[in-house]
Amino acid sequence: MDTAHVLRHTFATRCIEGGMKPKTLQRILGHSNIGITMNLYVHITEDEKQREMDLVADALKVV
């Protein structure tokens, strides 16, 4: 994978982490299908998984 393509993946991931709506990102990247954007370009980091689990724990009041 070339550097520019890696940058697109990183950009997509960071946009979603920052709260951008997936359809907006789809249009920015020029994908015709949201599945391409979300399944191929957006990656879930370990930090993101932990943040989501912390939200669930807080919601359930789990210590």
Tens digit of each residue's pLDDT (9 = 90 or more) over 15-62: 999 999 999 999 999 999 999 999 999 999 999 999 999 999 999 986
Q: What is the pTM for the complete model shown? A: 0.80
* pLDDT tens, position by position, 5-24: 999 999 999 999 999 999 99
Measured between its terminal Cα atoms, the distance across the chain in Å is 42
Contact 40, 28 (CB under 8 A): no
Cβ distance 29 to 37 under 8 Å?
A: yes
The pLDDT, as a whole number, for residue 2 is 82
Domain boundaries, the chain: 3-60
